[in-house]
Chain A
């Protein structure tokens, strides 16, 4: 550790292109002062170019900004007027076009203006860091390095950190700490080899996919059906990803490999296929030009058909038999079946895996420090659920290595280069072990980084082969596990699928509160992986217990437009509110009992004698959102998507969500503008609004001013515990129960109803939407009482329950729920 602490007060980003502007956006998301530089505009405001780039950030989807207003916090600058500002910047990130001559010129221009301790990092994806360093003044090179963000930088976890020969070790450690804690990124130390780790392997995998698809005559749409979520990769799979990244960008990376890796055994495959070059020449660059491998015509998605040389409707599907193989949970069986199958799709997948494994094994020593770094680079940079070595290891290292060797010998593999000795070693069972991951140059197993920043991550991203024990169990039920990490803070984690809240979870949380009140300083609700919770599950847990929650694919999430995303989130949540069983049995009373239990639990979170903290990551919908709203404090990762989405299935929030909003409106109005806030919160519930970030959730009102936003989700638990500890240390007392809350009352209900009336008359909502809206308004305004009537919390809770039950009893709500359960889509009736 260096003697003087490294403080990042300000960061300059040079270059307001797609990456530069988005990096600046993420800096301000993380409350880091960011100055964004670009060439001065030829006419008008000299900052015109930057301002245009900043304005464009507001339009990008998925949004690079936590909230649209954040864009205004990026400070615009140009190289003519503002180089003096660089002196105050602790870090400067260069993100201009990948041209050695341009970068070199820029370095000459800015170097004299850098501060005494400024770290200068290039966000190059292709150029050699040492070559770039040579363009940098020799006396400053110890503060020069590469910092490679992935697009879109807000969402992609990976940042590759690359030293040049002269980079001082302490500089990299400082930068890593900043990237991990302040920007929330996953840092991999990469070597200065072409395209570093993730792009090198990821792009090769795409080239291998293209090669085998052409060889076996499999259409692009079918390839995407096979190489997406079916095999634990982003939904955008191969070609849709290429369209999103940009076909020209993809070609550029391929050409870099072609030019810089002449001796690579796979060199002949580092070529842009003729059809791809053709598309680029036509200006069909993918999403940004609205045409690439795919194009959208009206409502149809069309795909380029190489045989026909034209676009056709995209309808490629995985063969049922192959799909069956891919669904096999047993990885070694799955690979054995793929390997043995004669189906071209199975052969295709085996070939793609084989060549990727072969490539990774052959290049591991050159490009990465150990196998873990390669796997994480691919997971964090390309959105694979498991890295190539993890897959190989879980499929049975020896068996797969034998098949690869056979295929190499038979000339089926893409090259004849043998597997490296370490991979072919007959004693090998894998590369990841509890002691560490295999490092071929040292032929040893390297443990995880010992940097102090990682002490904040007691449960960092899981890796196959490592042991993972979540503390010591305090008690465990069907619904929850309550545990501790050896200190005085109790943690409760849900065991249900997508962490839905059923009666077993409700019981478990109530029990956790009781236990914590007796023996612990406080309680944290934290899940071992996202989501926080998709909401209430009124359905009984199926026999055999809950299935483990599947991890949603991060990358797929990004590539869909957020609007669709929010919609599908609402769906997922709604699907959990499966009351169909009880309905059919006519057990409405049972449902009402569950709603009551829900309210008792959320009230307990609020009024228990110990501080409660919700540690939120990912979705917190419906009942999950209500849990968050009732804890004394929420600590939420930047990527937290909260929403009270019950109206989507014809219901309303009845776990205290409407009640909290009613009380918050009174508090926000400070005796004055209650009506304004009631209408705002009504809109959040009635629309319903799902936040696009934690900060956005605060804007909507799901999170409070006192709630905390955390950038790195692996630090979430530590920070949540620190928060609960601080609350306890402050002599925690629960809030006093309010017995005189002024209700907005009957005129406010009528006022909100006028809005609904206009929407109904204009055909924007259905009669049933109108009914639901009126009921939400009724609950939030405290019912048919005079404005300012004083009521207590139970008054609102009773209204929530009453109107929830009334909606549930309507045919249209029942139809909505059934439709959602059957089809997963909302019904508009």
Chain B
């Protein structure tokens, strides 16, 4: 059971709009710059706060190399103009990195060793591909049959989940179409307005006629992924992307994306000191492992674990952000746990909104906290499956 000495509160939660990778609106935005942007935006929402009081900045990133390498957390916070006394840590648990950062930041407060923490996530899949720039695998993977799952790409694992949990192509396509429908509706009705910090993209390109460097400037304020033209019929025409006779397509999988998110957490004492109002309270977080070749089923192990930890019943959850890595695994998780689909991803999920790997956790915490507040609901969860076979789930309470 929890040994916490104080509660950890979410004081602000914000995110960038999510761009499509590798050819979307943020393709030329460096992930460290985008991180600096969301860090600035997150602290701007707690105006009374003294930046020097930040105990640490923890940033999740799934492929922490190249443009997002070199401890991107420290680089990002310095670029954000934080005092150089503020420290930074980059962490990686693939797709759960962002929510993992929130949990670790909360735990520092809950343990009483920190009062002001920032948790964030950043990922540019335009700049750093899945697997990184130079993937390299251990020959030992192939020495034991059960380890071959380590070698499997995410698409193949989704196929295995679809097969094992009997998720049909039609179900997947319906689910994907619904994700787009919800996302578009949410964008149209401005439901993401509060959580998104618009980013001004300045791109420098050579003009070969004038022989000058041109600066093109535009503001990115909406998620780029959702498509109006998506329909179950259109999706049904796509070819399987990973397996010749499979059911997983580009259309019922999450999109590759660029994005960042950041969350400010405080103890009650710090909130008083800086005159901050809490959005919500962090209640708990759990991770669990599953066989790597069916990694998508991970939340099935993590969700009961965190519910037990927090003492909450599944029914008590009002809003679940279940990361749609693939429709196949989302549906398998829903079936297996008997989750209430009306409570899952009411504003759409990664199939429509995109999935900037290590940033997604932080981004969805922002969606959840603002969503619970707006709808005046109480308990929410951010959960996802994780490559090489894990699941993560974090529980939050809106205040």
Contacts and interface: CB of A to CB of B under 8 A. Distances in A.
B136 interface: yes
A749 B136 CA distance: 9
A416 interface: no
B82 interface: no
Contacts of A328: none
A749 B143 CA distance: 13
Interface stretch (B36-44, B109-117, B120-128, B242-250): B242-250
Contact of A764 (B135, B137, B139, B244): B244
Contacts of B141: 750, 754
Contacts of A748: 136
A763 B156 CA distance: 10
Given A753-B151, A758-B156, A761-B152, A747 B242 contact: no
B142 interface: yes
A746 interface: yes
A784 interface: yes
A758 B160 CA distance: 12
Given A762-B244, A762-B246, A763-B243, A747 B152 contact: no
Nearest to B135: A751
Interface in A721-772: 746-751, 753-754, 757-758, 761-764
Nearest to B293: A761
A762 B138 contact: no
Interface in A661-681: 675-676
Interface string B211-247: 0000000000000000000000000000000111110
B137 to A, nearest CB: 4
Chain A interface, DSSP helix/strand/loop, else mixed: helix
Given A753-B151, A757-B151, A762 B243 contact: yes
B65 to A, nearest CB: 14
A751 B136 contact: yes
Contact of A761 (B136, B137, B156): B156
A761 B139 contact: no
Given A758-B151, A763-B245, A750 B137 contact: yes
B3 interface: no
Contacts of A762: 155-156, 159, 242-244, 246
B151 A746 contact: no
Contact of A751 (B137, B155, B159): B137
Contacts of A746: 139
A675 B156 contact: no
Contact of A758 (B134, B136, B153, B245): B153
Interface string A762-793: 11100000000000000000001000000000
Interface string B150-180: 0111011001000000000000000000000
A619 to B, nearest CB: 30
A746 B138 CA distance: 8
Contacts of A757: 148, 151-152
B240 to A, nearest CB: 8
Contacts of A764: 243-244
Interface residues of A, number: 17
A750 B141 CA distance: 8
Interface string A77-115: 000000000000000000000000000000000000000
A784 B139 contact: yes
Contacts of B244: 762-764
Contacts of B138: 747, 750
B364 to A, nearest CB: 28
A30 B156 CA distance: 44
A254 to B, nearest CB: 42
A762 B246 CA distance: 8
A747 B136 contact: yes
A764 B152 CA distance: 14
B170 to A, nearest CB: 21
Contacts of B151: 753-754, 757-758
A75 to B, nearest CB: 12
Interface string B270-284: 000000000000000
B137 A754 contact: yes
Nearest to A774: B142
A443 B151 CA distance: 78
Contacts of A753: 137, 142, 151
Interface in A640-656: none
Interface core residue of A746, A749, A751 (most chain B CB under 10 Å): A751
A789 B385 CA distance: 39
Nearest to B150: A754
Nearest to B138: A750
B150 to A, nearest CB: 8
Interface string B244-270: 111000000000000000000000000
Interface string A262-297: 000000000000000000000000000000000000
A391 to B, nearest CB: 49
Interface string A355-386: 00000000000000000000000000000000
Interface in A53-69: none
A754 B147 CA distance: 11
Interface core residue of A748, A762, A784 (most chain B CB under 10 Å): A762
A322 B198 CA distance: 78
B139 A747 contact: yes
Contacts of A763: 243-246
Contacts of A749: 139
Interface string B7-40: 0000000000000000000000000000000000
Interface in A481-521: none
B136 A675 contact: yes
Interface string B353-370: 000000000000000000
Contacts of B135: 751, 754
A676 B139 CA distance: 18
A793 B348 CA distance: 57
B198 to A, nearest CB: 30
Nearest to B148: A757
B169 to A, nearest CB: 15
Nearest to A762: B243
B148 A750 contact: no
A746 B156 CA distance: 24
Contacts of B152: 757-758, 761
Nearest to A749: B139
A761 B137 CA distance: 17
A86 B148 CA distance: 63
B134 A675 contact: yes
A675 B138 CA distance: 15
A315 B242 CA distance: 38
Q: Top 3 closest A-B pairs, CB basis?
A: A763-B244, A762-B243, A754-B151
Given A748-B136, A757-B148, A761-B152, 16 more contacts: A675-B134, A676-B134, A746-B139, A750-B137, A750-B138, A750-B139, A750-B142, A754-B141, A757-B152, A758-B152, A761-B156, A761-B243, A762-B156, A762-B242, A762-B243, A762-B246
Interface of A: 675-676, 746-751, 753-754, 757-758, 761-764, 784
Interface of B: 134-139, 141-142, 148, 151-153, 155-156, 159, 242-246
15 contacts: A675-B134, A675-B136, A746-B139, A749-B139, A750-B137, A751-B136, A751-B137, A757-B148, A757-B151, A758-B152, A758-B153, A758-B155, A758-B156, A762-B246, A764-B244
